Structure 1
Amino acid sequence: MSKYIQKLKSFIKQCRRILTIASKPSKEEYMEYTKVITIGVLLLGAIGFILYAIFSFI
C-alpha cells in the first residue's frame, strides 16, 4: 500500500512541476496556432478529396 501512495505522491509532484512551468499562450501565439492547424486540416481535406475524385473516375 505504501508503494502506491509513494507513486501517487511522485505523480502529483510531477504534475505540479509541469503546471508551474506551463504558461497560457498569448493571443498572437493562439492565433498563429489556429492558422497553422486550419491550413493543415484544409490541406489534408483537399488531398483526400483529390484522391477520392481520382479513384472514383477510375
Structure 2
Amino acid sequence: MNVQENFNKFIKDSKRVLKVAKKPDGAEYRELAKISVLGVAVIGVVGFVIVLLGSLIGL
C-alpha cells in the first residue's frame, strides 16, 4: 500500500468510529470523573507513602 491508500483507509476507519461513538450522558460522565479522581488520589497517596518511607529510613 502506498501513502495515499493508507491515508484513505485511515479516513474511512475514522469516519466509521465517529459514526459508532456517542457522547456520554450526564451519569456516565460523572461516573468517569469519579473514577478518574479516585485514580489520581490513589496515585498521590502511593507517592506520598513512598516519600514518607524514604524520609523515615534516611534516603
Instruction: Name the TM-score class by shorter chain.
Output: 0.7 to 0.9
Paired residue total: 57
Distance in 1 of aligned mates of 2:44 and 2:15: 39
Aligned structure 1 segments of 4 or more residues deviating by more than 4 angstroms: none
Distance in 2 of aligned mates of 1:4 and 1:36: 40
TM (normalized to structure 1)?
Answer: 0.87
Distance in 2 of aligned mates of 1:51 and 1:29: 33
TM (normalized to structure 2)?
Answer: 0.86
Partner of 1:29: 28
The alignment partner of 2:24 has SS state of coil
Q: Percent of pairs identical after alignment?
A: 34
Gaps of 5+ in 2: none
When the two chains are superposed, the root-mean-square deviation of aligned CA atoms in Å is: 1.4
